[in-house]
Structure 1
Amino acid sequence: MNKPIIPTGLGLDPSGIPTDLHIAGQWREARTGQRIDVFDPSTGAVIARVADAGVEDALDAVRAAADALPGWSATAPRKRSEILRRCYELMMEQQDMLAALIALENGKSLTDARGEVAYAAEFFRWFAEEAVRLNGELYTAPSGANRIIVQYQPIGVAVLVTPWNFPAAMATRKIAPALAAGCTVVLKPATETPLTANVLADIYKEAGVPDGVVNVFTTSNAGPTISALLHDPRVRKLSFTGSTPVGRKLLREAADTVISCSMELGGNAPFVVFDDADLEAALDGAMVAKMRNGGEACTAANRFYVQKGIAKAFSEGLAARMSALQVGKGYDAATQCGPMINAAAVTRIGEMVDAAKKAGADVVVGGKPAEGPGYFYPPTVVASVPADARLMHEEIFGPVAPISVFETEEEAIARANDTEYGLIAYVYTRDLARGLRVSERIESGMVGLNRGLVSDPAAPFGGVKQSGLGREGAHHGILEFTEAKYIATSW
């Protein structure tokens, strides 16, 4: 079975979903002859079998990217911009198809999937505009002896490694700035959700991206395969989104050849609610920050710290909203919370909740895995969670909201910062001075101040501490794929 098996009613054409490797503009079988099963998390059924690349296949992709690099980097910025803009337009024209595919292989609700497609496409529109504004610098040396010219040149072939939770957006957030800067890329999407990346590869080609500029391969042997790419002298950039432990390993590998690395790693986001917060606004924000993509997001609110005076009302309000969510297959129109990505995720979430219960926490709503088929865990609220519980220290990646009470501002800041991670934090208060003061002191790369959603292609996305290196989006994102060249001259 090389073509997907699509449930009826989704409007997807199986013949239009590639399952091979996309190298040098062509779809081809893996040299290994092996295939990887792709599952529908809503049912547990196998829906496709994609090519399983070996090291030689991956090196073929690097070769194609290296061959295409001179022509693409020499392409006029305006031409690159127009192609990126066309990628945006084609994605939006096919938004419903892409959303259905994401809901099928990832499990997120159709509402979330449509939101992801719009967000993913927006990176092409944003970087289409940045492609023609990659300005250099010219100034006089302080000594007056010479002029200083700075140019931003494409860094070269970039290896992009993306996770399963946002199969479209995590790819376009890297591909768009790389192409805008004049780089060529080799993309390795997650084996759980490879079909979206494959369909997008055809969209890029239709938009005018030349053969070899974007190459896509899937592999079940990621460690040795990515290691081989990082030791290929033609590769000069690694952009990775995934867990912190894997990020650490890749950084060690990249050190051997001193490859530039961008790392968007794990999170443990605090959601801090002060007594003076607008309760309804805080609950609205909590539902977005916690339940977007069923909690399977690095930006998901992971730890809820609520001030004593508002804690009871917030817990009751959140429990009411969580219990009202419609759980079901991702591609069913009525679904508000779909399945987790696989059975292992359900088991892990359940173990964390059970451990908190044994430590004295109270499950207000949810707390028990649903029986199959599919990989479902219900929206869950856990109150009075001890500070040392796994729920407060590990990335949950699921629809579980652990709540703990605090009394003072200093306590809230200290507890928010009590983690090795620092991707994002959320703060709710009506006191603007307090909100800005707390936002500055929380150790995170991003803060949602009275907002439950911060992701925006026009803003720099990234974390501090062990949540990563570098930024994606904004003007910062294109600079990650460039080298600054300094030329000294006099006239």
Structure 2
Amino acid sequence: MGGTTTSRGLVIAGREVPSESGGHAEDRNPWDGSVFAEVAAGTAADVRAAVDAAAEAFPAWAATRPAERRAILNRAADLLAERTKDVIALMAEEVGAVAPWAGFNVMLAADMLREAAAATSQPVGQVLATNSEGVLSIQQRVPKGVVAAISPWNAPVILGVRAVAMPLAVGNTVVLKPSEDAPIACGLLISDVLHEAGLPAGVLNVVTNDRADAGAVVEALIGDERVRMVNFTGSTEVGRRIGVLAATHLKPAVLELGGKNALIVLDDADVDYAVDAAVFGSYMNAGQICMCVDRVIVDHSLADAFTERFAARVRDLPVGDPSAAGTVIGPVISESAAQRVSALIRDAVEHGAELVVGSGEIEVPGTLIRPTVLAGVTKQMRVYYDEIFGPATVIHPVDDVEEAVALANDSAHGLTAGVITENLARGLEVAARLRTGIVHVGDQSIADEPQAPFGGVKNSGYGRFGGQAGAEAFTDTRWVTAQVSGRAHYPI
């Protein structure tokens, strides 16, 4: 790692350009701290230029034939898939991702582009019943206009593509602001493949920025009257600010935010399968997925056997350099992220929690925490309610299904959950009682398919990405009537 530094500009009106200020922001490798890339540090002035380009491109793009939009999105999917090896190397350096996770990012993101391509030729309206004589009444979905998209670093290719693919498919233009921690993987890479696939100039614009300017850039983007909608994936804390800002300007938003996800292991579960599910759900991408298992809620009758086997598996997970073959747990994204996760674990231990595996200590290079398992966690500990978003999870033994459901629902978040049982009917009954936007019966909490509606409830956000729900989220519903025979009658 730590080779030649990449330098990238903003993408405005189909061209890569410097920021108005001429400034740059450093994109650092979380494993060795080296400067992996320098990107243009966009400002409010650059946001205006990007929105100018998107607004100018919108009428022509909205009028583009569905087959043309479909062909571009399908070509982009193919181009992205062809770059799998390059993206694996990119994600190792930019976000510390291990190869299986990076490869999955490419696969799912390509599928999202293909699903968006398919959406271009789906029905966009329906004929309505009417009481008016000689009138044809139609409900029609039409593109909103310029969409502001703000994408995160943790699943950068998946979530960067998700931020733009369906908006583009249904005829919108987009200004994308990628995370400061992954401006290439969740922004510029996506622009590269779409423009290489033939996307017209101005339809997708990318504004990267310095972390210190993030607030001003987002405010300028959402506040521009030509931007008609916002989508954001990230933390609940930031999402709340995005939602307030969008509401202030009377703009709809799709917000996919944090989770405090539970894996419920019922008393009839296959313990070995439950352990496999919990290991994957808790520690994929070092726990830095919004869907990760923060809590394993396991019936008392299985708790000892589950904990023993789970602990043994977790201790053996390979930890270290994300670019090394076989590494399962790489670094977290930054030293500040490592400090936050370590502080959660330390607070729990200081208040009486048991460290079943791991210590929560930060190791060289300052972003590495070995996988950790906590038991004996109570409501007095921050980790009981706070999202971990790192390589740690909590085991909660419970006496029965009632206690399991109550504990799973005892959270301000409501993104996803898993239920492990050998009885499908019982699993579906438990799933029906969970207050989450997603539930997986017979599986852990991490799953994503481009044709499925994706999103949460409570503090996990609102609105849905994916499938028909996503197509509807990024369009406006218009009522159109036509007097096809006779004449309308007026009382005055």
Smaller-chain TM-score bracket: over 0.9
Residue in structure 2 matched with residue 278 of structure 1 by the alignment: 270
| Runs of 4+, deviation exceeding 4 Å | 142-146
- Contact map agreement 2:342 2:362 (CA 8 A) in 1: no
Of 464, 468, 473, the residue aligned with 2:466 is 473
Equivalent position SS for 1:68:
helix
Q: What is the identity percentage for the equivalent residue pairs of Structure 1 and Structure 2? A: 38
Residue in structure 1 matched with residue 457 of structure 2 by the alignment: 464
Q: Distance in 2 between matches of 1:71 and 1:313?
A: 62
Q: Distance in 2 between matches of 1:246 and 1:288?
A: 27
Q: Distance in 1 between matches of 2:262 and 2:137?
A: 44
Residue in structure 2 matched with residue 148 of structure 1 by the alignment: 137
Of 465, 473, 476, the residue aligned with 1:483 is 476
Equivalent position SS for 2:414:
coil
**By how many angstroms is 1:177 displaced?**
0.2
- Contact map agreement 1:38 1:49 (CA 8 A) in 2: yes
Residue in structure 1 matched with residue 157 of structure 2 by the alignment: 168
Residue in structure 1 matched with residue 173 of structure 2 by the alignment: 184
Q: Distance in 2 between matches of 1:241 and 1:22?
A: 21
- Does residue 430 in structure 1 map to residue 422 in structure 2? yes
Aligned CA distance change for structure 1 residues 129 and 18 (closer, same or farther; 3 Å): farther
- Contact map agreement 1:58 1:225 (CA 8 A) in 2: yes
TM-score calculated relative to the size of structure 2: 0.94
Q: Distance in 2 between matches of 1:357 and 1:144?
A: 74
Q: Distance in 2 between matches of 1:202 and 1:424?
A: 32
- Contact map agreement 1:386 1:404 (CA 8 A) in 2: no
- Does residue 319 in structure 1 map to residue 311 in structure 2? yes
Equivalent position SS for 1:185:
strand
- Contact map agreement 1:427 1:435 (CA 8 A) in 2: yes
Equivalent position SS for 2:363:
coil
**By how many angstroms is 1:343 displaced?**
0.6
- Contact map agreement 2:371 2:391 (CA 8 A) in 1: yes
Q: Distance in 2 between matches of 1:342 and 1:449?
A: 34
Aligned pairs for 1:38-77 within 5 A? 38-77=27-66
Greater mean alpha carbon deviation, residues 451-460 or residues 59-68: 451-460
Of 59, 66, 73, the residue aligned with 1:84 is 73
- Counterpart amino acid of residue 463 in structure 2: G
**By how many angstroms is 1:143 displaced?**
7.4
Of 186, 189, 193, the residue aligned with 1:203 is 193
Aligned pairs for 1:336-375 within 5 A? 336-375=328-367
Residue in structure 2 matched with residue 386 of structure 1 by the alignment: 378
Q: Deviations over 1:188-234 (max 9, x none)?
A: 01111112221221111110111111111111211122112222111
Residue in structure 2 matched with residue 310 of structure 1 by the alignment: 302
Residue in structure 2 matched with residue 406 of structure 1 by the alignment: 398
Aligned pairs for 1:87-102 within 5 A? 87-102=76-91
Q: Distance in 1 between matches of 2:362 and 2:219?
A: 39
Q: Deviations over 1:260-319 (max 9, x none)?
A: 111111111011111111112211211221112110011011111111000111111111
- Contact map agreement 1:285 1:450 (CA 8 A) in 2: no
Q: Deviations over 1:410-456 (max 9, x none)?
A: 11111111111101111111122221111011000001111123211
Residue in structure 2 matched with residue 11 of structure 1 by the alignment: none
Residue in structure 2 matched with residue 254 of structure 1 by the alignment: 246
Equivalent position SS for 1:290:
helix
Q: Distance in 2 between matches of 1:25 and 1:407?
A: 60
- Contact map agreement 1:315 1:383 (CA 8 A) in 2: no
Residue in structure 2 matched with residue 24 of structure 1 by the alignment: 13
Q: Distance in 2 between matches of 1:147 and 1:416?
A: 50
Q: Distance in 1 between matches of 2:133 and 2:294?
A: 54
**By how many angstroms is 1:144 displaced?**
7.2
Aligned CA distance change for structure 1 residues 419 and 300 (closer, same or farther; 3 Å): same
Q: Distance in 2 between matches of 1:266 and 1:370?
A: 23
Of 114, 121, 124, the residue aligned with 2:113 is 124
Equivalent position SS for 2:439:
strand
Gaps of 5+ in 2: 485-492
- Contact map agreement 2:150 2:163 (CA 8 A) in 1: no
Q: Distance in 2 between matches of 1:39 and 1:18?
A: 12
- Counterpart amino acid of residue 154 in structure 1: P
Q: Distance in 2 between matches of 1:407 and 1:181?
A: 49
- Counterpart amino acid of residue 368 in structure 2: F
- Contact map agreement 1:303 1:391 (CA 8 A) in 2: no
- Counterpart amino acid of residue 294 in structure 1: A
- Contact map agreement 1:44 1:375 (CA 8 A) in 2: no
Aligned CA distance change for structure 1 residues 391 and 43 (closer, same or farther; 3 Å): same
Q: Deviations over 1:36-57 (max 9, x none)?
A: 1111111122222211111001
Greater mean alpha carbon deviation, residues 260-269 or residues 196-205: 196-205
CA RMSD of aligned residues (A): 1.6
Q: Distance in 1 between matches of 2:420 and 2:19?
A: 51
Q: Distance in 2 between matches of 1:449 and 1:388?
A: 30
Q: Distance in 2 between matches of 1:135 and 1:218?
A: 34
- Contact map agreement 2:2 2:34 (CA 8 A) in 1: no
Equivalent position SS for 1:439:
helix
- Counterpart amino acid of residue 208 in structure 1: G
- Contact map agreement 1:423 1:444 (CA 8 A) in 2: yes
Q: Distance in 2 between matches of 1:204 and 1:158?
A: 17
Residue in structure 2 matched with residue 449 of structure 1 by the alignment: 441
- Contact map agreement 1:157 1:184 (CA 8 A) in 2: yes
Q: Distance in 2 between matches of 1:95 and 1:144?
A: 58
TM-score calculated relative to the size of structure 1: 0.95
- Counterpart amino acid of residue 29 in structure 1: P
Q: Distance in 2 between matches of 1:387 and 1:402?
A: 12
- Does residue 158 in structure 1 map to residue 147 in structure 2? yes
